[in-house]
Structure 1
């Protein structure tokens, strides 16, 4: 049973002062992200799907901040590798949650189709429960608390200054001025990846429900390319949110809103791509939980059809994205 302290906690706005240096801002951003991670840990350990999601959001924000400042200061490799491993653990569990509670339910299965989907949902829920159990044990391990404590100390005490080759350089400028080139870099990376999608070759919605033959290596490559755009969009959006309190309000809000809308579309497509892989895993043991081969084929075909339609709907938003200008101070 979840208690009040186990309820999911969303990210708090990062509040920067205009007299802060870029280094001050970095410290405050990192500690803000870590508070969100810590605040959701108890709920995640108690198998709260939403707490797990918010803990993962906090970790994504933290890793985005580390990437944003990587050319100025770098978290020690051991801690960075620990955060990457934690992200994989949280992500694997979240993937089963989404399949069980969202993706399969979104196939609008009724009548005879419901009989195809129900065994898959039951199997996905079982895998989700097993994954939550393993994750809970990992979060209770001392090594997990040690990792977060070390990263908190790194930000709190500005441990990057202890490095023998540390040079303050750009970190000494005002946060507003220092944010501009960081945001511009994030936008250039996003624009480059969006242009690389080659949307003029996007397939038409031609994969009928029940037919998984269209799920091939080409589609997997396209899904990976869309995922890279999605990650770049998240990092650009997080960067703008981190510095929102010292940037032009209206321009920043429009920029964040544009990226959020794109993220939603790309997120739906990513959920479908992940579902293809998870459904393939469920299909490795036919007969278990009442799953038959035709159940898998039906769901994967449905996912392929949804993906083809989603890719077509993505073309205009991506064209607008290429023209989107980064926030300037």
Structure 2
């Protein structure tokens, strides 16, 4: 069935906007002088991936397949670098505020090790950016989106038809259903795999809400804000899980290296207090974030938030947000 023009316009405006956002970060990503360039670039790739999934029938299938592959590769290349940047930033802040001198050697050793690790990642990050540029993926997205928007310029009628709104609503409801399938994991603070899956489902819902926002006036503003808070809490939980795994691996590797080099574990005792300090810090933060998440989720459930959202996106006569539409232009 052909896609109505209103839905294609929504796709073109959002994809053009995110392609432009990603392109604007690439020089900074390669320069590696400010970690925020990598952060913004990775977010843009994730938003593009969400949009290409939602609008996969708004462009030729062969183009969408090629674009998704290119953007997925870029996201993967940026992911490890961004995670390491955040960890290094946390270690620097921790050292600056630390009063326990016995913990300094271990944290400093980890900092030096991960700084070298991040430096080794950078050539791969640059190569990923160069590959994306050589493929012309972002230019192709912008060019084909512009063709759709040219058609929209000649329209006298409002392009946001009930069919456009209904299609977006179907995507939102599907993403919400995916998220709610994981809510039982909040009964078990140790169900790490399900918490991770819930985080991914929530991220997909949030991006879909943001994409669809021009169709629903201000009705999606609060849901987007709520999803952002939930995503932050689930992200903190996931980050702590990654920290604990990384710290275990680092401690094991350092201990084995010291034994292989010196025949005993004596030097490992110098760095162990710092590693144990970080492990306890991350365990505590995980418990705090999980408790806050459970309480906030219960609050949302008690007020019927998910039913409210389902009612909003189930209404194909929602009023478009003119301000949001202009921001996409």
TM-score (norm 2): 0.72
Give the RMSD, CA atoms, in angstroms: 3.2
Deviation string, structure 1 residues 281-301 (Cα, Å, up to 9, x no partner)? 534641789974554444234
- For residue 283 of structure 2, the aligned residue among 304, 318, 325 is 304
Deviation string, structure 1 residues 49-107 (Cα, Å, up to 9, x no partner)? 10110011111111111222347765543432222121111001111111110267359
Q: Give yes or no for the alignment of 1:31 onto 2:21.
A: no
More helix by share: 2
TM-score (norm 1): 0.72
Correspondence for 1:42: 27
How many residue pairs were aligned? Answer: 278
- Tell me the CA shift for residue 320 of structure 1: 4.0
Correspondence for 1:66: 52
Is the CA contact 1:61–1:238 (under 8 Å) kept in the aligned structure 2?
Answer: yes
CA distance in 2, matches of 1:116, 1:110: 14
Any stretches of 5+ residues in structure 2 without a counterpart? Answer: 149-159, 259-266, 319-329
- Tell me the CA shift for residue 243 of structure 1: 2.5
Is the CA contact 2:15–2:145 (under 8 Å) kept in the aligned structure 1?
Answer: yes
Report the secondary structure of 2:234's partner residue: helix
Deviation string, structure 1 residues 173-219 (Cα, Å, up to 9, x no partner)? 653343222222222222222x241x2233xxxxxxxxxxxxxxxx4
Counterpart mapping for 1:182-261 below 5 A: 182-193=171-182, 195-197=183-185, 199-202=186-189, 219=190, 222-249=191-218, 251-261=219-229
Question: Who wins on radius of gyration, i.e. which is larger?
Answer: 2
Q: 1:41 to 1:98 in 2, by over 3 A?
A: same
Is the CA contact 1:23–1:172 (under 8 Å) kept in the aligned structure 2?
Answer: no
Correspondence for 1:52: 38
Correspondence for 1:180: 169
CA distance in 2, matches of 1:55, 1:103: 23
Q: Give yes or no for the alignment of 1:138 onto 2:124.
A: no
Is the CA contact 1:269–1:310 (under 8 Å) kept in the aligned structure 2?
Answer: yes
Deviation string, structure 1 residues 19-73 (Cα, Å, up to 9, x no partner)? 9601111111111111111011111111121011001111111111122234776
Counterpart mapping for 1:70-219 below 5 A: 70=56, 76-102=64-90, 105=93, 109-112=98-101, 113-141=103-131, 144-157=134-147, 175-193=164-182, 195-197=183-185, 199-202=186-189, 219=190
